[in-house]
């Protein structure tokens, strides 16, 4: 498997490089769901066009990481891959546009819409590192009413491996636990693990977005299904905190 990119996702997928010889994984996209940079969006698009040309010439399958966040689907849920999408952010509109490019490319593709992926060595603006930093400084900003679906990057890697082993292609699949957790609960578990309590500053938002993972579970063999359940998010946080950091936080792209 060829991996395009050098950031968090690309490094996490590195153990699969000896498998799936006909697959190219595009892990070089814009990493922040809050990005509004047309320059960054254009850079990703240009590189994607080049990789698609290469895949077309060599008969390779392209795996592309999109998003299953509210920025793509809209604020309501649960969000299904076959359902309507109403992007609410520049990032969501960009990802939807890139999915459209893939559909019309003539290349065999697999679009994986990721939930909030968590793992060591991810960039500091991502959800868990950002919350940890705020808690350690003593004040945490919480979007009241917001929910987040967390998935550990190790489970993402196993899912990608299993889908490619089954030769899954020309599909759009949500990779999510299926359990959208209140941000207050995520903060509370982080505080418990750190043994501290931070001052809370609330911002009211309408963001109760939930994601369906029924399609994902139907495509995975039982042995490859992560043990998703209502407390799965706690195990994601625990694995993040318990795994030694091997490198300094990256500033590369995911």
Catalogue all structural domains in the chain, each as residue range(s) with its CATH number: 2-242 (3.40.50.720)
- Residue 32 makes CB contacts below 8 A (sequence gap 6+) with 91, 123, 125
Please give the pLDDT value at position 35: 79
Residue 86 has pLDDT above 50, yes or no: yes
- Residue 196 makes CB contacts below 8 A (sequence gap 6+) with 135, 136
Angle between helices 232-242 and 183-194 (to 10 degrees): 40
200 three-class SS: strand
Cα 172 from chain centroid (whole Å): 14
- Full-model pTM: 0.92
Please give the pLDDT value at position 245: 60
Residue 110 has pLDDT above 90, yes or no: yes
Alpha carbon distance 206, 15 (integer Å)? 39
Residue 254 has pLDDT above 70, yes or no: no
Work out the pLDDT band at 123, boundaries 50, 70, 90.
confident
Share of the chain above pLDDT 90, in %: 76
pLDDT digits (tens, 9 = 90+) for 172-201: 999 999 999 999 999 999 999 999 999 999
Residue found by looking up tokens 């990789």 in the block: 51
The overall average pLDDT reported for the chain is 91
Please give the pLDDT value at position 77: 63
Residue found by looking up tokens 């750190």 in the block: 194
Alpha carbon distance 159, 21 (integer Å)? 17
Identify the weakest region by mean pLDDT among 132-136, 158-162, 176-180, 247-251.
Answer: 247-251
Please give the pLDDT value at position 250: 36
Mean pLDDT of 43-67: 97
Nearest to 91 by CA among 57, 58, 125: 125
H helices of 7-137, where?
Answer: 8-13, 38-58, 70-73, 90-103, 127-137
Work out the pLDDT band at 64, boundaries 50, 70, 90.
very high
Please give the pLDDT value at position 137: 96
* Greatest mean pLDDT among 13-17, 67-71, 207-211: 13-17
Residue 55 has pLDDT above 50, yes or no: yes
Mean pLDDT of 124-152: 93
Share of the chain above pLDDT 70, in %: 93
């Amino acid at each position: 498997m060829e991996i395009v990119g050098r950031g968090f996702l690309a490094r996490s997928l590195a153990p699969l490089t000896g498998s799936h010889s006909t697959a190219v994984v595009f892990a070089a996209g814009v990493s922040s769901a809050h990005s509004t940079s047309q320059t960054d969006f254009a850079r990703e698009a240009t590189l994607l066009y080049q990789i698609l040309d290469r895949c077309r010439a060599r008969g390779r399958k392209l795996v592309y990481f999109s998003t299953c966040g509210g920025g793509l689907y809209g604020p309501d849920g649960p969000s299904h891959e076959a359902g309507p999408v109403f992007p609410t952010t520049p990032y969501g509109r960009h990802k939807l546009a890139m999915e459209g490019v893939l559909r019309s490319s003539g290349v065999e593709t697999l679009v994986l819409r990721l939930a909030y992926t968590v793992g060591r060595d991810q960039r500091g603006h991502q959800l868990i590192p950002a919350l940890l930093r705020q808690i350690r400084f003593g004040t945490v900003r919480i979007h009241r009413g917001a929910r987040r679906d967390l998935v550990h990057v190790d489970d993402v890697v196993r899912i990608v491996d299993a889908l490619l082993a089954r030769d899954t292609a020309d599909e759009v699949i949500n990779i999510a636990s299926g359990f959208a957790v209140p941000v207050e609960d995520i903060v509370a578990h982080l505080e418990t693990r750190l043994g501290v309590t931070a001052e809370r500053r609330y911002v009211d938002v309408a963001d109760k977005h939930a994601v369906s993972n029924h399609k994902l579970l139907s495509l995975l063999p039982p042995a490859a299904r992560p043990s998703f359940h209502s407390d799965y998010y706690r195990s994601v946080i625990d694995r993040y905190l318990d795994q030694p950091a091997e490198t300094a936080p990256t500033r590369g792209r995911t």
